[in-house]
Amino acid sequence: MIAHYWSGQPAAPDRHAEARICWSDEALHVRFIGVQREPLIVSYNPQTHKKTLGLWDRDVCEIFLAPDPANPSHYFEFEAAPTGEWIDLGINVKPSGRETDWDFVSGFKSAAKLEQEQLLIGMRIPWSEAIPKPQPGDSWGVNLFRCVGPEAPERYLAWQPTRTDEPNFHVPDVFGTLRFE
Per-residue model confidence as pLDDT tens digits over 121-136: 999 999 999 999 999 9
Q: Is residue 66 included in any domain, yes or no?
A: yes
Q: Is residue 177 included in any domain, yes or no?
A: no
Query: In which domain, by residue range, is 122 found?
Result: 4-42+51-168
Indicate the range of 10-14, 30-34, 130-134 predicted with least confidence. 10-14
Q: Is residue 178 included in any domain, yes or no?
A: no
Q: Is residue 117 included in any domain, yes or no?
A: yes
Concatenate the DSSP letters of all residues of the chain into one string.
-B-EETTSPBPPGGG-EEEEEEE-SSEEEEEEEEE--S-----SS---SS--TTGGGSSEEEEEEE--TT-TTEEEEEEE-TTS-EEEEEEEEETTEEEEETT-----EEEEEEETTEEEEEEEEE--SSSPPP-TT-EEEEEEEEE-SS-TTTTEEESS----SS-----GGG-EEEE--
Averaged pLDDT, 73-101: 96
- Percent with pLDDT over 70 in the chain: 100
**Residue 67 pLDDT more than 80?**
yes
Structurally, the chain folds into a number of domains equal to 1
Query: Are residues 83 and 112 in contact, defined by beta-carbon separation less than 8 angstroms?
Result: yes
CATH number at 162 reads: 2.60.40.1190
Q: Is residue 175 included in any domain, yes or no?
A: no
Q: What mean pLDDT value characterizes the chain? A: 95
